[in-house]
Amino acid sequence: MKQLTKAEEEVMQLLWELQEANVASIIEKMSSPKPAYNTVSTIIRILENKKFVSHRKKGKGYIYFPIIEKEEYSSQSLQKLMNNYFNGSFRNMVSFFVKKNDMDIKDLEEILKELGKEK
């Protein structure tokens, strides 16, 4: 799976949230200053070429929708981060974030409790 640029990822985040949208609807959800219509349209075409987005015709325009699940992309991105910066070690990665965020034992216990609920 290809990596996304910051702009592409921003558009994908909105599409994952909206489920489907035309370019104008995506722009409407973006923070100011809003990009030009052509800019977002170009990003959408790039996302289609990367096989992240597809479309269907509606009237004279198109409705775009994600074909890659957010969880799938998140998992792949996290794996790449772990491999590139933490020697493929989940333990090293978690340790780094715990130290950087100055977490205490109580915070860690809460995280472990939440993880236990998911099993």
- For the chain, the domains span 6-66, 88-119
- Measuring CA to CA, how many Å separate 63 from each of 18, 19, 41, 45, 49? 11, 10, 12, 12, 16
Tens digits of residue pLDDT in 68-113: 999 999 999 999 999 999 999 988 888 888 888 878 888 888 888 8
Could you please state the CATH topology (level 3) that the domain comprising 6-66 is classified under.
Arc Repressor Mutant, subunit A (1.10.10)
Higher pLDDT, 108 or 46: 46
Per-residue exposure over 88-111, b if at least 16 CB sit within 10 Å of its own CB, e if not:
eeeeebeeeeeeeeeeeeeeeeee
